[in-house]
Structure 1
Amino acid sequence: MSSKIDIVLVGGGGHCKVVISILNKIGKYNIVGISDTKEKLGQKILGIPIKYTDDQLEELFEKGIKHALVTLGSVGNPEHRIRLFNMLKRIGFELPVVISPDSVVDDTVDIGDGSVIMPGVIINADTKIGKNCIINTRASIDHDCVIEDHVHIAPGVTLSGSVIIEEGSHIGTGASIIQSVKIGKFSIIGAGSVVIKDIKDNIKVFGNPAEIRGKEK
């Protein structure tokens, strides 16, 4: 009998593909399948079938599948990831922290439920990562940063020490944020931006240096 832990992945697509790759390397979990929309049933991602819809997840839990992970990606709007995370928690699933073996995460880093640390990531001492976060490929997060729940740190982002990213914000690919800057809730930092001052809630910024370009709804 396998000693691996059964887990269902919720949300197909490119992000799901990378998570499957990480889970395969970790070797701790048996992926029982992927849940997505009815239109995607029967498709496979890296050989794993999409064979459930979200309305079957409670039944899966009752049958003994106790672990799940949100594997829907997020580009700027975390609404659907938040909804799925809350649904899985309500059902009673345990959402594990998934850390790529190809990342470097200091032992003092605290990471919340359901967050995924992708290959090539570096996270330094006394940083806190919230729940349901994506810390994407080759992101670099220095000491004493605080990343709140449902944040997506995109590939190649650099955060200097003591940066705060509040709930639901998206830090675009290759952006850099200097030390001690605070990014408000549900804001978007455009790809390649250099942020040198605090950003309020629900704001879009981009450029070098980053300037306000609009507000989120």
Structure 2
Amino acid sequence: MLLYGASGHAKVILSILKAMNQEVTGIFDDDPEKKEIHSIPVVGSYRADFLPNEPMIIAIGNNTIRRQLSGQIRHSFGTAVHPSAQIDTSAQISEGTVVMHGAIVQADARLGRHVILNTAATVDHDCVIGDFVHLAPGVTLCGSVSVGAHTLIGAGSVIAPNLTIGSRCLIASGSVVTTSIPDGAIVRGNPARIINRKSFRTL
């Protein structure tokens, strides 16, 4: 396996892959000051000819950067699921997605491409998670929640059942969402309220 990104997020993914007995053979990063993480060499900026048959995971938490890089990379993409995660056999996990320590994915849930399901986050039955979504540590999605692409749901937030969270939203940490949220909304609070809207021209 190869990684792109040599940050703290990459350290967690390395931990997952080690627990999976998956060898990591190199890490790409554009910062020339970074030389290694946990004895894994940082080999410099991305090169399509470096171990071209090895799958890769983009180890970057920012949804927008992860999306941009995914369109530039020629390698295939792998997945990483920590052994402590509980994944129902009917759930679907797409390429590039990472499921971290203690996370739970229930029956018929679907996780899109390059999703981050962070530590101890819970995705209940029939949820649909779009591409490049980040569910931060301790997030709880109740049943049949839909989350649009590129959305970040902050640590400890709770999303009530049967709601739709739009694309490119930001749900602040600790929010309790009890109504559906439109695209581009920034929400906060308990109950969560829209406090701003993103301009899609800047995304």
Q: Which of the five TM-score ranges fits, normalised by the shorter chain?
A: over 0.9
**1:116 Cα deviation from its structure 2 partner:** 0.3
Cα deviations across residues 82-122 of structure 1 (Å, max 9, x unaligned)?
0112222xx2x221121110110000001110000000001
> Which residue of 1 is the match for residue 5 of structure 2?
11
The alignment status of 1:85 with 2:85, answered yes or no, reads: no
CA distance in structure 2 between the partners assigned to 1:216 and 1:155 by the alignment? 23
> Which residue of 2 is the match for residue 67 of structure 1?
55
**1:46 Cα deviation from its structure 2 partner:** 1.8
Aligned length: 199
Report SS of the residue matched to 1:81: helix
Structure 2 portions without partners, runs of 5+: none
CA distance in structure 1 between the partners assigned to 2:154 and 2:127 by the alignment? 17
CA distance in structure 2 between the partners assigned to 1:196 and 1:15 by the alignment? 30
1:1-217 correspondence runs (5 A): 7-27=1-21, 29-42=22-35, 44-54=36-46, 57-61=47-51, 64-74=52-62, 78-88=63-73, 91=74, 93-217=75-199
Cα deviations across residues 13-36 of structure 1 (Å, max 9, x unaligned)?
111000001101111x32111111
CA distance in structure 2 between the partners assigned to 1:22 and 1:98 by the alignment? 7
| Higher deviation after alignment, 65-74 or 155-164 | 65-74
TM-score under structure 1 length normalisation: 0.88
**1:66 Cα deviation from its structure 2 partner:** 3.0
Task: Provide runs of 4+ in structure 1 moved above 6 Å.
Answer: none
CA distance in structure 1 between the partners assigned to 2:87 and 2:78 by the alignment? 16
Report SS of the residue matched to 2:24: strand
Q: Which structure has greater helix proportion?
A: 1
TM-score under structure 2 length normalisation: 0.94
Give percent identity, aligned residues only: 35
Structure 1 portions without partners, runs of 5+: 1-6
